[in-house]
Amino acid sequence: MQTVELGSSGLHVTPICLGTMTFGEQVKETDAHAILDRSLECGVNFIDTAEMYAVPAKAETCGATETIIGNWFAKHPGVREKLVLATKVAGPARGMP
């Protein structure tokens, strides 16, 4: 898959970014891992997450998406270095940590 430069960062990412906001709520971990596997097989090298995911945000699932992605990286040594992982922080809100 072709890549484009991400701004002036020097990072080259696929035009398709895998959004993961449903991992850990609507999408269970085993299915999330299958989605990540398939994305990698298709050449996607760009994954987006956030500290408040899964959505809808709840205290008990806050950070679940990052944990799922971390568990997937742990099962795939060497893959992390091949991917660009984008994240963001919303800060405390609605009683979330």
Is residue 84 over pLDDT 90?
A: yes
Contact between 88 and 55 (Cβ < 8 Å): no
User: Is 53 assigned a catalytic role?
Assistant: yes
Q: Which member of 13, 53, 65, 66 is catalytic?
A: 53
Q: What is the mean pLDDT of the chain?
A: 91
The pLDDT of residue 5: 96
Closest CA to 50 of 21, 91, 73: 21
pTM of the model: 0.88
Please, what is the end-to-end C-alpha distance for the chain in angstroms?
Answer: 38
pLDDT band at 96 (very low <50, low <70, confident <90, very high): low
